Structure 1
Amino acid sequence: MNLVNLMDPEQQVSFTEAVKVGLGRKQGVFFPAELHKLSDIEALLALPFTQRSGKILQHLIGDELPEDTINDMVMRAFNFPAPLVQVEENKYCLELFHGPTLAFKDFGGRFMSECISLFSQGERVTILTATSGDTGAAVAHAFYEKENVDVVILYPKGKISLAQQKLFTTLGKNIHCYAVEGSFDDCQAIVKQAFLDEEVKEKLGLNSANSINISRLLAQVCYYFEAFAQVPQDKRNNVHISVPSGNFGNVCAAMIAAAIGLPVKKLSATTNQNDTVPRYLKSGNWDPNATLESLSNAMDVSKPNNWPRVESMIKNGIFDKDYFYSSSVSEARTREVMQQINSTGYVAEPHTAIAYEGLAINSKADETGIFLATAHPAKFKESVETVLQQQLDMPKVLSDALAKPCLAETVDANYAELKQRIFDKLA
């Protein structure tokens, strides 16, 4: 597999190298130089999830990894379902919260863990990642107690839900967590600085587990095929997918799925009040505002890392811009939509509600709509119970985590301070 650095096209790397490096020169993200169509999509959709996913990843990665190796990695990583639930006529919810940390990022985090374990060959690796909510838990659990791997997680202090936070800040051992006095964008900026610091990269064997990393992105392609496999065959030709979007990795994976043959008719990348992309598509001016805190905190991102990948696909005609939509949903409307969905008998947390609203904003009557549920409602227990005025059952994995003490250290949004803290602990 040949991948190109979108900020420095002269840097072209293999899949293995892209996974190990994480971020390219000039803070550029890697993207496949070419995307080829799969043959016989209907036959592929008839296969079981893990078998199909192995074939998709083999198609994307190429002969760099043996087929048996990829299949074994997928079997270990994707050992939980992704059910498609009908909520209304012609509206389905793809539930991506049945993994160990109850969020869609378990798919990418666990596959990346498999890749890093294979490619590092016993060398020391330090995973450095910023999280706006769910990435931290998915990465922490995927790498927990892995030999020769340390994980450093930055998160904006007080700006993610307690359940999200406790899922990763209570683990300890090789998981090191820092609550940053600032926004997610501040955390992300620190991560990018670290990847420009040769001393840090050399001493710690630095890698990133954000959706910057291509292994996470490719893993996410697989569950879009799983969604289609569960849609009735007579409804597969006019499917509109709405993705709750913060860092834009999830919708980028949907575009890749479409590019290799999945018959996605329309894509909506629906944001909360942090609306940099919707405004950019209207005005042509990239003008990020200060990040605002929202009910859908995992999407509180003003400078999405994956936008260069999405924009590249649109500009190069890999996905038709006329079938790509991006709208923002206000806080008040998010609450209303949560209540609206609840009236159907389905409980949705804020991110899922925003995806649902994306269908409403951009859909036509003859379309089959799929909206993504990226996290279990109980991960946002306080806000969901307040908005819906009803009690939620707490999954055991969350209740166990909530009972444990937080082990995170608080730091300023200052790269030099954090670097010293990490060196004191790991170098």
Structure 2
Amino acid sequence: MQLYNLKDHEQQVSFVEAVKTGLGRNQGVFFPTHLAPLEDVDALLDLDFVTRSAKVLRHLLGDELSDETIAGMVEGAFTFPAPLVKVADNMHCLELFHGPTLAFKDFGGRFMAQCLAQFSQGEKVTILTATSGDTGAAVAHAFYGKENIDVVILYPEGKISLAQQKLFTTLGGNVHCYSVTGSFDDCQAMVKEAFLDDELKTRLGLNSANSINISRLLAQVCYYFEAVAQLPKAQRSKAHISVPSGNFGNVCAAMIAAVIGLPIQKLSATTNQNDTVPRFLASKQWQPNDTLESLSNAMDVSRPNNWPRVQTMLDNGDFSYGDFFSHAVDEQTTQSAMKELNEMGYLAEPHTAIAYEGLKADLADDHQGIFLATAHPAKFKESVDSILDMDLPMPQALAEALAKQCLAQPMSADYTQLREAMLNKLG
């Protein structure tokens, strides 16, 4: 598989190089030079999730890795289901929270861990990532205890739920966490600056594990095939998928799936009040505002790093602007959507409710709508309990994490502090 840097087209790398490098020159993200269509999607949709996922990834990666290697990595990563739950006559919810940290990022995080274990060959690796909520836990658990790999996680202090925070800040060992005074965008800016620091990159073997890394993105392509496979065969050609969108990696994966042949007719990238992309699509002006805090904190992103990948596919005509929707959902509407879903018999947290609300706005009567549940409702127990007037029971994994001590250290949004801390601890 050949990939190029969207900010420096002369930098072209293999998949293995892209995984190990993370971010390209000038802070550019890598993207495939070519996305070839699959030959027989119908036959693929009749396979089981793991077998199909290995074939999809084999198609994307070409001859770079053997069939056996890819199959082994998929089997080690995708050990939990992604069920499609019917909510209404032409509306379904794809539940992506059945992994160990109860969020969709378990798929990408665990596959990336399989990749780096395969590719690093015993070399020192330091995973540095920023999280707006669920990435931290997924990455921490995927790499926890792995030999020669350290994990450094930055998160905005007080701006992710306690359950999200405790899932990764309580592990210790090779997982090092810093609570940053600022927003997710501040955390992400520090991560990007670290990748411009050649000394730090060399000494620590720096890599990123958020959706900047192509391995996470390609892993996420697989569960869109699983979603469509669970629709009745007669309805598979009319899928409209709504993705709750912050950093835009998840909807980017959905678009890649569509480009290589999955019959996704329409895509909705639904945001919260951090509406940079909806405003861009309306005005063609890229004007990020300051990041606002919301109930859907994992989407509190004003400068989505994966938007260049999405825009590349749209500008190239790989996916039509006319079939791509992006609406902003405010706080009051988010709460109303949660209540509406609850009345329909489906319990959802704020991110899922936003995806549902975005789908409603554009879903045609003859299409099958699929909105994504990206996190277990209990990860946002405070909001769910308050909005829906209930006392949501805690899953065992969350209850155990909440009982443990937070080991994160405070840090200001200052790269020099991060650099010094990492070199002192890991260098």
What TM-score comes out, normalization by structure 2 length?
Answer: 1.00
Aligned to 1:116: 116
Q: Distance in 1 between matches of 2:113 and 2:83?
A: 23
Aligned to 2:198: 198
Alignment partner of 1:302 is 2:302: yes
Aligned to 1:359: 359
Q: Distance in 2 between matches of 1:297 and 1:126?
A: 26
Shift of 1:367: 1.2
Q: Distance in 1 between matches of 2:385 and 2:65?
A: 46
Aligned AA for 1:114? Q
1:249-283 CA deviation, whole Å, 9 max, x = no partner?
00000000001100000000000000000001101
Aligned to 1:217: 217
Aligned to 2:94: 94
Root-mean-square deviation over aligned CA pairs: 0.5
Shift of 1:172: 0.1
Match of 2:178, SS? Answer: strand
Shift of 1:387: 0.3
Q: Distance in 2 between matches of 1:332 and 1:94?
A: 24
1:138-182 CA deviation, whole Å, 9 max, x = no partner?
000000000000000000000000000000000000000000000
Q: Distance in 1 between matches of 2:358 and 2:267?
A: 9
Q: Distance in 1 between matches of 2:216 and 2:413?
A: 26
Shift of 1:423: 1.1
Stretches of structure 2 that go unaligned for 5 or more consecutive residues are: none
1:370-421 CA deviation, whole Å, 9 max, x = no partner?
0000000000000011000011111000000000000000000000011111
Shift of 1:40: 1.1
Alignment partner of 1:74 is 2:78: no
Alignment partner of 1:173 is 2:165: no
Runs of 4+ residues deviating >2 angstroms: none
Shift of 1:295: 0.2
Alignment partner of 1:136 is 2:125: no
Aligned to 1:267: 267
Q: Distance in 2 between matches of 1:12 and 1:139?
A: 26
Aligned AA for 1:32? P
Q: Distance in 1 between matches of 2:81 and 2:262?
A: 20
Match of 1:71, SS? Answer: helix
Question: Bigger shift: 228-237 or 408-417?
Answer: 228-237
Aligned to 1:382: 382
Aligned AA for 2:86? Q
Q: Distance in 1 between matches of 2:368 and 2:3?
A: 33
Aligned to 1:246: 246
Aligned AA for 2:253? A
Shift of 1:74: 0.2
Q: Distance in 1 between matches of 2:356 and 2:50?
A: 27
Q: Distance in 1 between matches of 2:393 and 2:94?
A: 20
Q: Distance in 1 between matches of 2:311 and 2:39?
A: 26
Aligned to 1:164: 164
Residues 35-50 of structure 1 aligned to structure 2 (within 5 Å): 35-50=35-50
Match of 2:237, SS? Answer: coil
Kindly, what percent of the aligned residue pairs are identical?
70
Q: Distance in 1 between matches of 2:89 and 2:193?
A: 48
Q: Distance in 1 between matches of 2:367 and 2:416?
A: 52
Aligned to 2:279: 279
Residues 14-33 of structure 1 aligned to structure 2 (within 5 Å): 14-33=14-33
Shift of 1:425: 0.8
Shift of 1:366: 1.4
Q: Distance in 1 between matches of 2:420 and 2:11?
A: 30
Alignment partner of 1:313 is 2:279: no
1:306-361 CA deviation, whole Å, 9 max, x = no partner?
00000000000111111001000000000000000000111000000000001111
Shift of 1:369: 0.2
Q: Distance in 1 between matches of 2:224 and 2:266?
A: 13
Shift of 1:234: 1.3
Aligned to 2:145: 145
Aligned AA for 1:327? H
Q: Distance in 2 between matches of 1:110 and 1:388?
A: 33
Match of 2:305, SS? Answer: coil
Match of 1:87, SS? Answer: strand
Q: Distance in 2 between matches of 1:269 and 1:161?
A: 23
Match of 1:328, SS? Answer: coil
Aligned AA for 1:173? G
Aligned to 1:62: 62
Residues 179-190 of structure 1 aligned to structure 2 (within 5 Å): 179-190=179-190
Aligned AA for 2:29? V
Stretches of structure 1 that go unaligned for 5 or more consecutive residues are: none
Aligned AA for 2:14? S
